[in-house]
Chain A
């Protein structure tokens, strides 16, 4: 009985004390009083776990959400899901913060003042859609449906396909993805060597050595979880090649000069071939273009072997890569010895003026290492596509779709690219090839996340109807005429393509975890409503009542209901890897040759792809005078980077991965450079490029190569420094191609 009545004593004395001080007992500061839930809270204490798919990046991890009395309170990884096997990164978990974020747009908003003034009038969905339908109807009536442009960041979900479907029926070719600003360099390389657009699927589980080119594996969001899930079984050795020391766990870091990845890959190939470390049988059977070959005309063409033997000895490339020849030799032998190697890369390595060639060189290195025999590439991901009936295309739509894309992808300006979002501002401003009348901006805050803020600003202001579909009043939304708040992925039904490891096929399901908290709609429902409003052939092409109806029709009957149980659909993981390459790997891409042949004659003359479809690597091009701007800017995507609305999530912004105030923007700089510039740790500095400048806090660290300045994307101002140069063939945005200078602010 020794501790009897402690509580009473405490509270009694507290009451007495409070009374003596003339104030009553305070509110119970431990009680959580939650606001009411739309649709009722259910039974008191009712708790359930709902399976869904994460939407914070394109990887498509399976999640399960704990819902207590109608409110989501925790997100965890789905242990059954083949992509992440139960784990979940910080981004995915922060989705909860987005769901209940106070700054979410609560209903459609119509501009109430000048552009960018920040005055809004709430509108009903009918009004907003009516306005859009009126505008689009006029476009079609005038025979210019191509003047509708759609910039869309989310390619994983079936909503993207619905937009494509809609645009086909409507008649615009301008469905512009964000690929060129992301990992298109790698995806196009896969397309031109293996025939399918997408990231290569690596066998992470059996890979014993990962050579990460320009990525620290965490930043490469599509592959991070596969790598981590594989590492949970047995962690492979990780060698990172990048100008900045990676934030993730690694075994070796090889600092490389920006833009030098392709040369390194070819040099490694050179050593492998020179020292007889390649499997010639495998290359003969499954790879075309390795040795000299005869084309259809019977002319002998030089093979890949001749190319690398001639120009890519490590001694020849060490100047451009900044990596000693001996290191390359050692690395190549290590790769060859290990055999089960994954050469991973994402947008980091290929975001340069030589992006496509770099991507192809890396793909070639992967194949040279015999990766298809297990441990590396097993092919490209097989993607699910919705099975909808082809849209009804009328004459107007046919004519419109035939018009050139405004971003110039596939034209002489960008013969090998699929999209080129950075070209949109100039096209709008110059009305080239035709004026843009309506612009839909989805899934990306272009103004804040893409380079060239001024150009984007001018262009967006010029569009007569700018519609931003977003949950946030972000920078792009501030310029819009209409802001349509989309329901967040935790509130809606959707089907997404996940990025599983090799040998698997995964479609994820998103299902409403909670009832929509605000007056928001799924983007798919908006498309269907617009199509219905337009009527005619467009309306007939999208005959569904709602997006969930469309989803039900997109997959075999009953699929969606089944998927609710598991959170998606996937095959049982194949244990009998290696799955062979789906087709011959073309080191010497015939697809490129064909495309170049198809391009206009003038283009052929002026911009012939060198080396006939081999990875023709060129030294990178940098924007800015080397004397005035002596340092290379290395923008990177930190772990917490979320393309669309990431800065609204304070959990991510406060991740303790940097010391000191996590909200500040840091410029990481090598001690040698810092000493030369007179900059000390913690100093306020101004980073300047030929395009803009941005203040930051100097972080002096030997984790950055001499001559480079590393800055994290996602914070205001970094994207403004980048000069939007690009790969002249593929249109890949050269994030890594800007020179800057750093000055101390006194």
Chain B
């Protein structure tokens, strides 16, 4: 390989390599030592930030079932349309979906991932591709996933989707893809991330501007909540008693889906009232 005459980091890279070798050896040893010593300490959140618990409240009374949130989610999260052919085989992906009305109920229910406090999907993942973040998001790391679909089977809400084939954008043109979200390859399970990239950006922006992130700024943060014309979807920190979501979650209309599953969802519905 022809080397750049100005590039003098050949030595540097060797040094780096050696350093990496030493570091990894040390790391492995410390790892062993730690394992013997006991459980490793969980990563500490930055000291100034209180522990948050993100949640969504969906007001079924306000929701008019316009499905704007569905497209907003697909657009924001680079969900490829299934296309007429694949959809004919009922394999569309909708992180935000609509649950058909149960008998006795009047209308369909928008249903994102419930971000359970005790997520069954996390328990069954054989490789730790899905886990719960410190702030309560049930996350999925695409590259980890091996595609066994155990999490899909375990999820009582069927809120996980498998990429049955390679995602294909209309005309193979990825122009409209959101650069903040990685598209998922074939054979990987994907799911709602509560627009964590938007949360991350908002937190970062707030820290850069040196202003605390207010509850008002958070309420419409995820794409679904932002798009909702009736403002039926509210996002926020359930752990903060002053937040709008916490207030709504305390409403007598509040309910959770399948409470008997013991999953304790952090997506809370407000019953239709009238």
Residues of A within 8 A of B (CB): 1-5, 8, 10, 29-30, 32-35, 37, 68-69, 71-77, 84-90, 92-94, 96-97, 99-103, 217-218, 224-225, 227-229, 231-232, 235, 237, 247-251, 639-640, 650-657, 659-664
A residues in contact with B62, CB < 8 Å: 231-232, 235, 249
- Contact between B84 and A655, CB atoms less than 8 A apart: no
- Say whether B156 faces chain A, with CB atoms less than 8 Å apart: no
A-B contact pairs, 20 of them (CB 8 A): A1-B34, A2-B31, A4-B28, A4-B31, A29-B183, A30-B143, A76-B227, A87-B229, A87-B231, A90-B70, A100-B170, A100-B171, A232-B232, A235-B274, A249-B60, A249-B106, A651-B74, A654-B94, A656-B92, A662-B87
Assuming the contacts A4-B24, A96-B176, asked whether A218 and B64 have C-beta atoms less than 8 A apart, the reply is yes
- Contact between A96 and B75, CB atoms less than 8 A apart: yes
Q: With A73-B178, A96-B75 given, name 10 new contacts (CB 8 A).
A: A34-B175, A76-B227, A77-B229, A86-B231, A87-B68, A224-B66, A235-B61, A654-B94, A657-B98, A663-B84
- Contact between B64 and A74, CB atoms less than 8 A apart: no
**How far is A92 from B229 in the complex, measured between Cα atoms in Å?**
12
**How far is A249 from B177 in the complex, measured between Cα atoms in Å?**
32
Assuming the contacts A4-B24, A232-B229, asked whether A249 and B173 have C-beta atoms less than 8 A apart, the reply is no
**How far is A419 from B210 in the complex, measured between Cα atoms in Å?**
60
**How far is A69 from B178 in the complex, measured between Cα atoms in Å?**
11
Interface string of B24-54 (1 = CB under 8 A from A): 1011101100110000100000000000000
Assuming the contacts A77-B229, A217-B64, asked whether A651 and B174 have C-beta atoms less than 8 A apart, the reply is no
A611 to chain B, nearest CB (A): 38
Q: Give the nearest-CB partner of A83 in chain B.
A: B229
- Say whether B272 faces chain A, with CB atoms less than 8 Å apart: yes
B residues in contact with A247, CB < 8 Å: 65, 107
- Find the residue from B23, B83, B182, B231 having the highest chain A CB count within 10 A: B231
A residues in contact with B177, CB < 8 Å: 32, 34, 73
A337 to chain B, nearest CB (A): 15
- Say whether B90 faces chain A, with CB atoms less than 8 Å apart: yes
Assuming the contacts A2-B40, A4-B31, asked whether A32 and B179 have C-beta atoms less than 8 A apart, the reply is yes
Assuming the contacts A102-B173, A654-B82, asked whether A30 and B183 have C-beta atoms less than 8 A apart, the reply is yes
Report the 5 A-B pairs with minimum CB-CB distance, sorted nearest first. Answer: A102-B171, A87-B229, A4-B27, A228-B229, A232-B231
A residues in contact with B87, CB < 8 Å: 653-654, 661-663
- Contact between A651 and B272, CB atoms less than 8 A apart: no
B residues in contact with A248, CB < 8 Å: 64-66, 107
A residues in contact with B171, CB < 8 Å: 100-103
Contact of B64 among A3, A88, A228 (CB under 8 A): A228
B185 to chain A, nearest CB (A): 4
Report whether over half of chain B's contact residues are helix, strand or loop; otherwise say mixed.
Answer: loop
Contact of A218 among B34, B66, B75, B94 (CB under 8 A): B66
A233 to chain B, nearest CB (A): 8
**How far is A5 from B23 in the complex, measured between Cα atoms in Å?**
9
- Say whether B215 faces chain A, with CB atoms less than 8 Å apart: no
A residues in contact with B170, CB < 8 Å: 97, 100-102, 650
**How far is A86 from B230 in the complex, measured between Cα atoms in Å?**
9
**How far is A494 from B70 in the complex, measured between Cα atoms in Å?**
29
**How far is A663 from B229 in the complex, measured between Cα atoms in Å?**
26
Assuming the contacts A32-B174, A100-B173, A651-B74, asked whether A228 and B230 have C-beta atoms less than 8 A apart, the reply is yes
- Say whether B140 faces chain A, with CB atoms less than 8 Å apart: no
B residues in contact with A96, CB < 8 Å: 75, 176
Interface magnitude class on chain B = 35 or more
A residues in contact with B61, CB < 8 Å: 235, 249
- Contact between B179 and A68, CB atoms less than 8 A apart: yes
- Contact between B72 and A88, CB atoms less than 8 A apart: yes
- Contact between B71 and A94, CB atoms less than 8 A apart: yes
- Contact between A650 and B84, CB atoms less than 8 A apart: yes
**How far is A93 from B72 in the complex, measured between Cα atoms in Å?**
7
A residues in contact with B202, CB < 8 Å: none
**How far is A688 from B208 in the complex, measured between Cα atoms in Å?**
65
A94 to chain B, nearest CB (A): 6
A542 to chain B, nearest CB (A): 35
**How far is A32 from B71 in the complex, measured between Cα atoms in Å?**
20
A68 to chain B, nearest CB (A): 6
A residues in contact with B100, CB < 8 Å: 659
Contact of B81 among A29, A224, A249, A650 (CB under 8 A): A650
A residues in contact with B231, CB < 8 Å: 86-87, 232
List residues 251-272 of chain B with CB under 8 A from any CB of chain A.
272
**How far is A101 from B170 in the complex, measured between Cα atoms in Å?**
6
A residues in contact with B24, CB < 8 Å: 4-5, 8
A residues in contact with B23, CB < 8 Å: 4
Assuming the contacts A32-B177, A102-B173, A218-B64, asked whether A656 and B70 have C-beta atoms less than 8 A apart, the reply is yes
List residues 206-243 of chain B with CB under 8 A from any CB of chain A.
220, 223, 226-232
- Contact between A651 and B229, CB atoms less than 8 A apart: no
A residues in contact with B67, CB < 8 Å: 89-90, 639-640, 655-657
- Contact between B65 and A76, CB atoms less than 8 A apart: no
A129 to chain B, nearest CB (A): 28
A residues in contact with B223, CB < 8 Å: 74
List residues 106-147 of chain B with CB under 8 A from any CB of chain A.
106-108, 142-143
**How far is A53 from B44 in the complex, measured between Cα atoms in Å?**
46
B229 to chain A, nearest CB (A): 3
- Contact between A225 and B229, CB atoms less than 8 A apart: yes
- Say whether B76 faces chain A, with CB atoms less than 8 Å apart: yes
B residues in contact with A228, CB < 8 Å: 64, 66, 229-230
Q: Give the nearest-CB partner of A68 in chain B.
A: B179
B37 to chain A, nearest CB (A): 10
- Contact between B75 and A93, CB atoms less than 8 A apart: yes
- Find the residue from B64, B172, B229 having the highest chain A CB count within 10 A: B229
B residues in contact with A8, CB < 8 Å: 24
- Contact between A250 and B142, CB atoms less than 8 A apart: no
- Say whether B56 faces chain A, with CB atoms less than 8 Å apart: no
- Contact between B183 and A655, CB atoms less than 8 A apart: no
Assuming the contacts A87-B228, A102-B171, asked whether A72 and B176 have C-beta atoms less than 8 A apart, the reply is yes
Q: Give the nearest-CB partner of B27 in chain A.
A: A4
B252 to chain A, nearest CB (A): 17
- Contact between A655 and B27, CB atoms less than 8 A apart: no
- Say whether B63 faces chain A, with CB atoms less than 8 Å apart: yes
B residues in contact with A85, CB < 8 Å: 229
B residues in contact with A653, CB < 8 Å: 84, 87
Q: Give the nearest-CB partner of B232 in chain A.
A: A232
A residues in contact with B72, CB < 8 Å: 76, 88, 93
- Contact between A231 and B176, CB atoms less than 8 A apart: no
- Contact between A249 and B63, CB atoms less than 8 A apart: yes
**How far is A237 from B62 in the complex, measured between Cα atoms in Å?**
11
List residues 160-193 of chain B with CB under 8 A from any CB of chain A.
170-179, 182-185
- Say whether B88 faces chain A, with CB atoms less than 8 Å apart: yes
Q: Give the nearest-CB partner of B89 in chain A.
A: A661
**How far is A34 from B169 in the complex, measured between Cα atoms in Å?**
12
- Contact between A639 and B66, CB atoms less than 8 A apart: yes
A158 to chain B, nearest CB (A): 26
- Contact between A88 and B175, CB atoms less than 8 A apart: no
